[in-house]
Structures are given as C-alpha cells and as structure tokens.
Amino acid sequence: MNSAAPHILCVNPWIHDFAAFDFWAKPLGLLQIASVLRDHGVTVSYLDCTDRFHANEVNEVKMSWDGRGPYRKKEIPLPHLKGLEKSVQKFSRYGIEPEWFRQDLEDLKTGKKVDLIFVTSLMTYWASGVQETIKTIKEIFPSVPVVLGGIYASLCSDYAEKYSEADFVVKGSGFKNLNKIVNDYTLYDMGFEYHPDNLDKLPYPALDMQNKIAYAPVLTSIGCPFNCEYCASSYLAPDFYQRSPESVFDEIAHWHHKYAIKNFAFYDDALLINGEKYAFLLFEKIIESGMDLWFHTPNAIHIKEITEKASLLMYKAGFKTIRLGLETTDFDHRKFDSKVKEGEFYDALKNLKKAGFQNSQIGAYLLCGLPGQSLGSVRKSFLKVKESGIRPTLAYYTPIPHTKMWEKAKKYSKYDIEKDPLYTNNTLFPCIFEKEVTKKIAIIKNL
C-alpha cells in the first residue's frame, strides 16, 4: 500500500569561494527535480541559500540588463589547509545570511512535516559551502534524512560521503534514482520513470518557486559529443540526447508569456550540434513568433558550428551574448581538444559579424592554468583574440576528477588536489608554478 504523499524540501547551498558572481547561475537540475516531484503529488518547498532577492534583503539588489548581478557576501575564515597558511586572498560565503536561512527552516516546521531534504551541489571546490548548509539544516531538522546530489556529489562522491554530513550521496543522474530514493525514505511510490532519450517528457523546471525570476536557464540537450581532456561532461552524462525544437520553444514561450521573462541563458554544452534538425528549427520558431527575447551562451558555442546560416538565425532570434569555446590560439599544438582549427575560428567571426553581431557581443574563452602551460602562451592567445576585435576572456583551469587531464594535473599541482576539493579552486592556480602568477595574469587581463 502506498503511503501518503510526502513533503520534500529542496535546497540550493551556499557558495564558499574567493570570488563568485551570478552569471546566469541557477540549480537547474534541482529545480527540474522539484517540478517532477510536484507533478507526482509531492508537496515541495524550495530554499536557495544564494538567493539575491531574499525577502530579508534590505539593500538595493543590483541587477544588470541581462539579469546578472552580485551575491550578498560575508568574509569567513579560509579552511586550515597545508600550503594556504600564508594566503592573503579573502575567502567568503556568498548568499543569504545564516540567520535568514535558519529562520526559513524554522518557518517550515510550522507547516506540514518535512519528510525528506534534497540538497544539490555544483562546483567541486564549493564543498565547504555544502557542508555548512547541511550542518545548518540538521540543527533545525536533526531527524530528517538529507540526500545530496549534483556535480560535486558525483565527481567527489567519496569525499562527499565522508565530509558533507549528508545521509546519502547520489552519484550520477538524480532523475534516474529519484523514484527509488523517495520510495526508500518515505515509502511513497511516485511511479516516475526517467527516459533520457525522451527529454520532452520532463516538466519545465520549477523556476516559479524562486522569489524572483531574473532570467530563465534553458537546456536543449544533455551530454556532449566531444570528450575534451579538461571537461567532465562525458563522465557526468556519457550519452548525448537532444530535446525537440517544439518542446524547447514551448518552454521559452511559457516563461515569456506567463512571467514576462526576457533573458534566457542556454546551459548547453553543444547547442548547435545537429543544427539543421534541432537548433535552427528552434531559432526559426522564435523568429516567427515575434517574441522580443535576449539569449545568452555562458557555456560557449562550438566554433565550427557557427556557419553563415547559424549566425544569421541567432542574430534574428535575439542572441545578445556570444561566447566561443576557443581555449587557445596555438592551433598547431592543441593536445587537449580537437574542436576547432584556425580557419574555422576566423570563419566563425566573419559569419557572426556579417549577420550583424557587434564585437562587444562576442567573446572567446581562453584556458589559463593548464598543467604545463606557460603564461607566455596565454598572453599570445589573449593578444591574438584581441587583434581580431572581439573580447578575450580567461577561463581559469580547474582540475576535475574523472577527466583525462586529472592524472596530469595531480603531477603538476603544487597542492595535494586529491586531499581536499578546495585545492582545485582555479583562483589558487593549482597547476601554475610561475612566481607572481596573480600579478602576471592581472597584467594580461589589463591588456
């Protein structure tokens, strides 16, 4: 006999870092799980420890035209780790005040009994933020099971099981295990089955549970057909699946018409792959609809897919922020990926500019801090991109477990990156041994 539908609390944890900013960052997986739970009879509550629009916020919330903005932050002690004793960099908690979070949790106790708590996780080196979040939850709900999922939980599962204070750590897809987890802890059978080959069956993420929707993240696919050495995408999602253009269009139209959302950020790792069957059809539907929308690509676009047709459709559809996954302009010695050749880069720029994009709208990510990489080569790439007229953006390398480059990173790192995820924080430049590295990179950025 199935038990009564439970009450499940979903929590997005604090960020502990040297720097953090809301670059269209939302816990999309958790919000989609919340939506699935809600659609299957579960009572769902949602708390976001990074909420920029919390009800207790008395300061003016800064928000740019594209929905982005700074988090509230408070300096906290840097964890006592060997090699970081003399660090002068400020370490902070990004998000709401702890007393606000405690009060939010206390308020939940006055309503329907909370039966289970889901906590998500993003960056691996934000582990201490996850730990503080779960510790705080257990102060208020000491007997309620806490389940941790997400990227950090999957990539550093052993560490998370030992230090996160969660009762259970989910490795891999939260959707795949969702029905079993709910049933194991609450005896409630949702009857939910996850079909990654039919993503159109999933409900829209529960963005409406936020205090304010400043922008909407959109995911048109999971996985990536490439297998770059520095990226964990192929480990987290070994297979590549794409949603139908109709389904994605309907989602975008839903958020625009019902909640007046104008800014949308594509979270895809491979937005333009199989463009003729997927992305192009989506863009054409958006253009035909006449909706005035602004699209952004923070995860970058594969350069060789930026054809003349793709560029024109993106421009007409309303793309405002184009980020290219360039990584380096040393095209003759690209060993860590094979996504782009020199001619393809310049062809993409020509196509984008011909379509109408301004230089200020186009940026190229350049990897910095790779094992064995010199800052001199980074500077050359930086200057070469700048000469093309667009904006070079340094993407600082983070050593990630389960990637091809992990073993190499362990050999090059000045820290024991296996011991604590914080050592992999890209602000520490773990794989660069050059003196005055921070000063040298600042000089490059000032170019």
Q: Residues 137-181: pLDDT tens digits? A: 999 999 999 999 999 999 999 999 999 999 999 999 999 999 999
Residue 341 zone, left/alpha/beta (φ > 0; ψ -120 to 50; rest):
beta
**pLDDT for the residue 342:** 79
CA 305 to chain centre: 22
**pLDDT for the residue 339:** 62
Which segments within 199-286 are labelled E, that is strand? 216-218, 221-222, 241-242, 263-266
d(CA 413, CA 211): 41
399-412 pLDDT per residue, tens: 999 999 999 999 99
Looking at residue 56, what DSSP letter applies?
T
What secondary structure does DSSP assign to 130-147, as a single string?
HHHHHHHHHHH-TTS-EE
d(CA 334, CA 423): 26
In DSSP terms, which residues pair with 241 in a beta bridge? Answer: 222
Tokens of 216: 């909407």
**pLDDT for the residue 334:** 53
173-208 pLDDT per residue, tens: 999 999 999 999 999 999 999 998 899 999 999 999
Q: Which residue has the higher pLDDT, 416 or 338?
A: 416
**pLDDT for the residue 164:** 98
**pLDDT for the residue 143:** 97
Q: All domains of the chain, ordered by start, with CATH? A: 7-186 (3.40.50.280), 215-445 (3.20.20.70)
User: What amino acid is encoded at 306 in this protein?
Assistant: I
Count the neighbouring beta carbons within 10 Å of the beta carbon of residue 285: 18
Kindly state the average pLDDT of the residues 215-222. 97
d(CA 171, CA 7): 23
d(CA 446, CA 441): 9
Tokens of 55: 């009800």
d(CA 141, CA 115): 10
Evaluate if residue 438 carries a pLDDT over 90. Answer: no
Confidence of residue 355 (pLDDT cuts 50, 70, 90): very high
**pLDDT for the residue 335:** 58
